[in-house]
Amino acid sequence: MAIEIERKFLTKSSEWKELAKGTKYCQGYLPVSGECIVRIRIAGNKGFITIKGRAIGASRTEYEYAIPAPEAEAMLKDFCEKPLIEKLRYKVDYAGMTWEIDEFYGDNAGLITAEIELSAENQPIELPPWVGKEVTGDHRYSNSNLVRNPYKNWKQP
């Protein structure tokens, strides 16, 4: 069984942007009920289908498979809930680990998150200077919830 252990943070500066080039991502979620979510994604020019279980803390089961990009495009258009998630993903190495920074567009414009995948929930990490508040347990920031309640609808301070 594949387990994903991931922590998510907001960013507090844009220093990270000078360190990497972004890859365009478009993803959507198939309407399912129960114990999992099913994501369709195009990253650059590659298609993927991912099945994720419920999160328990920072961990959850995850299975991901490559699929032809034209099929992923058709599934995004025909089957996925709207709005789709549109973002640029940047990969930045810091202190021997790779951070993924997502800069959202469309209905989630203005939101920027930084994620780190871990091998254990209690694995120590060194936070980069551009990482801010941790939002791992705040489900509003999960991509599947950003489809249902886009960032543009949140009450901004």
- Helix (H) or strand (E) run with residue 5 in it: strand 3-11
Confidence band, pLDDT 50/70/90 cuts, at residue 113? very high
Give the model confidence (pLDDT) of 2-51 as tens digits. 888 999 999 999 999 988 889 999 999 998 877 899 999 999 999 999 99
Look up the pTM and report it. Answer: 0.90
Cis omega (within 30 of 0) for bond into 83: yes
Selecting among 25, 29, 94, 141, the annotated active-site residue is 29
25 is catalytic: no
Residues of 59-75 as b/e, b for ≥16 C-beta within 10 angstroms? Answer: ebbbeeeeeeeeebeeb
Give the model confidence (pLDDT) of 79-107 as tens digits. 999 999 999 999 999 999 999 999 999 99
Q: Which residues contact 142 (CB under 8 A, 6 or more apart)?
A: 55
Q: What domains sit in the chain, N to C, each tagged with a CATH number?
A: 3-153 (2.40.320.10)
Cα R_g (the chain), whole angstroms: 15
